Amino acid sequence: MSTKKVVITGGPGTGKSTLVNALIQQGHICLEEISRQVILEAKKEGIDQLFLTNPLLFSELLLKGRQQQYLEANLYKNKTVFFDRGVHDVLAYMDFIGDTYPENFVQTCNEAAYDLVFILKPWEAIYTSDNERYETFDQAQKIHDHLVNTYKSFNYKLIDVPFGTVKERTSFIINTVNM
C-alpha cells in the first residue's frame, strides 16, 4: 500500500487552515499551506504583495513548494497525508487573475495524482481578510469556481465539506477518507 494523498482546498477564508491544524492536533500528517511563507519571504525582500506584483514568479514559487510537498509525502509509507492545497490550486489562481502560465505548470499537475480532493465552499459567516488575504468575499467565491473547474478539468471528483463546527468538518473528512 502506498501513501494516500488527500487535498483540502477552497477559496480564501473557508476554514482550510483551521481544519488542517485540527487534523494535526488529532495526530494526522498534514503538509501546511506555503503561500503565507512565500508572501512573508517576499516582504523581507521589500515586495509587499508578490502575487499582485509578479503573479508568475509567485505562482512558480508556490508550484515548486507544493510539488516538493507532494514528493515529500511519499516518505510516509502506508499513511494518509493531508495537503492544505494541492499543485492544481496554482492553475486555478492564475486562471482567476486571467494570467497565462507555462506548459510545465500543467505537466506538474498531470504528474501529481491525489487520491481524494475535499473542497470547502465560501462561507461568509467565517470569512475575514488580513495582511496576507486581500481578496473580498465575492472574489473568494470566484476563486472557488476556478478551483472547481481546474480540479474537474484534471478529472477529480470533488468532495464538498459541509458547513459545521471544526469537529464536525474534520470528522466528515476522516470518515470519508476511511471509507
Give the position of cell 509525502: 73
What DSSP line would sit under 82-146, residue for residue? EEES-THHHHHHHHHHT----HHHHHHHHH---SEEEEEPP-GGG----SS----HHHHHHHHHH
Q: Is 66 helix (H, G, I), strand (E, B) or coil?
A: helix
pLDDT for position 76: 92
φ, ψ of residue 82 in degrees (nearest 5): -100, 140
Which domains, and CATH codes, for the chain?
A: 4-177 (3.40.50.300)
Question: How many helices and strands, by DSSP H and E, does the chain display?
Answer: 8, 5
Judged against a pLDDT cut of 80, whether residue 52 lies above it is answered with no
Residue 134 pLDDT level (bands cut at 50, 70, 90): low
pLDDT for position 94: 93
The mean pLDDT value for 127-138 works out to: 69
Q: What is the pLDDT of residues 62-110, one digit of tens each?
A: 999 999 999 999 999 889 999 999 999 999 999 999 989 999 999 999 9
Q: What is the pLDDT of residues 158-168, one digit of tens each?
A: 999 999 999 99
Residue 55 pLDDT level (bands cut at 50, 70, 90): confident
pLDDT for position 17: 87
Judged against a pLDDT cut of 70, whether residue 143 lies above it is answered with yes
Mean pLDDT of the chain: 90
Judged against a pLDDT cut of 60, whether residue 133 lies above it is answered with no
The mean pLDDT value for 37-65 works out to: 82
What 8-state DSSP symbol labels residue 1? -
The model carries a pTM of 0.90
Share of the chain above pLDDT 90, in %: 64
Give the position of cell 501513501: 3
Residues 3, 16: Cα–Cα separation, whole Å: 21
